[in-house]
Structure 1
Amino acid sequence: MPFGTILLCHCVAKAEPLTLQQLRYFLATARHGSFAGAADELLLKQPSVAEQIRRLEAELGVPLFARTKRRLTLTAAGDALRPYAEQALATCRDGADAVRAHRTLRGGVASFGLPRNAELYALTDLAAEMHARHPLVGMRLIGQNSAEVAEAIRGGALEAGLVVLPVDDEGLDIEPVIRDEVLYATADAGRAATPMTTDRLLEQPLVLYDAHYGNADPTRRQLNERLQQHGGRLEPHIEVEYLAGALRLAAQGVGDTIVARAALDAGYLPEDLHTTPFAEPLYDTLAVAKQRNLPLSPATRELVSIALERLAAFDRARNRTIPTV
């Protein structure tokens, strides 16, 4: 290109987006065939409606109404716009209704994480009770180890959940609810005759559950921290995934294990097992976790409320009070 050539640019103005107000005025005018009739329906003055239609036609670059002395009739362009305008306003109404349903519990989905042993704490029928109270609300209940529940809440996959402490609380609000004592379980009656000390624990072959999560499991994490203070670490002889498997192996004398008192109350303990508390009492603290400073949806808030009611009733039934944690 020769030096000094002048470039001429033709700039196309960006079209203004249509507004819902303009579409509402357009449809009212089409129904009534006049600005006066549309103004009466919309509780506006006639010039306001006429001005909005004029702006709409200017933005689209085409007349939408043919004007006669008696009536306004749609042009071909107006006929083409009409179904889209109706659809846009209907979609807007549907969206608003969906949001109101969340607010009034006439809809929405509650998402909540539960520990895998939720049945020990009277939470088996949590979904059934929520459905009975609010049949139009959907639910997504996930049963996971507490470490995974906390991560799902932090990542936004769940709104809230019931976790066993300790968990990584970064970005979370944690509200302790109840606690349940963890006991030492063994087939050796002599070993269960006195409380289990940390020093003695270091010497015992252990069969522990939650193999997938290992020492990231909250209960095992507590034990591991105690052992670390005595120069050791939690290294089970056998790891299985579920509590029932660990209890069966312990009953056969393969190794000792741990069990929450709620499992004893529920009749999970085999006849050949004996239990004893830890010399320094060990507790599973159940807590509600949610994202920090983020309000819960009405559906999930109601589900949390029902869960708390059930946990309180469970604790009362055991003739124990909810401790301050």
Structure 2
Amino acid sequence: MTLTQLRAFLSAWELGTFTAAADELEVTQASISELIVRLEAELGVQLFVRGSRRLKPTSAANELRPHAESALGSVEAAAQSMRSITSLESGVATFGVPRNANHYGLSDLVLTFHTRHPGVRIRMVGLNSEEVARMVDEGAIEAGLVVLPIRDTELDVEPLFLDRVLYATANRSKDAGSVRIEDIMADDLVLYDAHSGWDDPTRRQLWDRAQSAGHRPSAAIEVEHVESALSLVAAGVGGTIVSASLVRSRRLPRGVRTFEFEEPFEETLALIKRQGAVLSLATTTIVELVRETITPPTGAKRIRSRPAG
């Protein structure tokens, strides 16, 4: 039993004659007749009673019809799924980003992609970088944008640029100069990404710096979003760490000031995908848009490297 035979059978069942089925499938009437005869021989049943004007489906034909429709539907669904990988007409593009992705000028990326490829559904997953890396590694998403360092080494990593990390507080004079790790350890820390905790890449760097200076850092308050942390800082509750990109995007509340670290504190923004993975055309296009759209903050060091895959 072949797909060609099933198409001929369904067309004949719906249109009532071999001639009409042949016209629909753009083959000869003899070809349709031969396909049906072979199908009947393989199944050991008669599918049609040949009348002078129309074909009359038998009970066997009526029984076969839903199975034939299901088989051809599954084949078409599979073909459509494969077309979504190799074209930009349909399918879903899933891409992971840090929660603060808009600070890097990516707010227009989704609109640009949708305008160019309206048939493709977009799923932009905002997570902590560690979770983005885990989902890429597990195959739940094809690729993502993360802040380094991430623990997983089984990923292709394409660094894009270095961003400065600053200390934000309302309890320090604007002329106070740079801060040392000892200065912020003496302050109440208000940290975000509470769910990820010290697994967050930037917080992990802070942890390592503090331990190297003989301190064990702890947060007085942990919240999930940087905006919540900054609201508390604006109210005079300690300080937090923020990226220079956030400052550039003018997200700081009134009264909050930022200070450079005495020992430069930087984080790297990078694209990741699974090693050896071939990205769908939709995700490849999103990755290219990220490279085009992403805007490093003033003074950030763009990293020129070979694209990962």
| Counterparts of 1:244 and 1:53, CA distance in 2 | 69
Cα separation, partners in 2 of 1:26 and 1:226, compared to 1, 3 Å: same
| Counterparts of 1:28 and 1:240, CA distance in 2 | 62
Q: Does 1:105 align with 2:61?
A: no
> 1:101 Cα deviation (Å)?
4.3
Identity of paired residues, percent? 42
* Structure 2 gap segments, 5+ residues each: none
**SS of alignment partner, residue 209 of structure 2:** helix
Q: Which residue does 2:302 correspond to in 1?
A: 322
| Counterparts of 1:287 and 1:109, CA distance in 2 | 22
Q: Does 1:221 align with 2:204?
A: yes
Q: Which residue does 1:76 correspond to in 2?
A: 58
Q: Which residue does 1:205 correspond to in 2?
A: 188
| Counterparts of 1:79 and 1:251, CA distance in 2 | 76
Cα separation, partners in 2 of 1:29 and 1:239, compared to 1, 3 Å: closer
Match of 1:154 among 129, 137, 142: 137
Cα separation, partners in 2 of 1:90 and 1:156, compared to 1, 3 Å: closer
How do 1:1-325 residues align onto structure 2 when only pairs under 5 Å count?
A: 18-24=1-7, 33=18, 50=34, 56-64=39-47, 76=58, 79-80=61-62, 83-84=65-66, 85=68, 88-89=71-72, 92-93=75-76, 95-189=78-172, 193-311=176-294, 314-315=295-296, 318=298, 320-324=300-304
Cα separation, partners in 2 of 1:72 and 1:217, compared to 1, 3 Å: same
- Paired residues of 2:161 and 2:300 also in contact (CA < 8 A): no
- Paired residues of 2:170 and 2:233 also in contact (CA < 8 A): yes
| Counterparts of 1:74 and 1:218, CA distance in 2 | 70
**SS of alignment partner, residue 163 of structure 2:** strand
Residue 276 of structure 2 aligns with an amino acid whose one-letter code is N
**SS of alignment partner, residue 193 of structure 1:** coil
* Structure 1 gap segments, 5+ residues each: 1-17
| Counterparts of 2:9 and 2:225, CA distance in 1 | 65
| Counterparts of 1:53 and 1:132, CA distance in 2 | 47
Q: Which residue does 1:7 correspond to in 2?
A: none
| Counterparts of 1:245 and 1:149, CA distance in 2 | 22
How many residues end up aligned between the 2 structures? 299
> 1:140 Cα deviation (Å)?
1.0
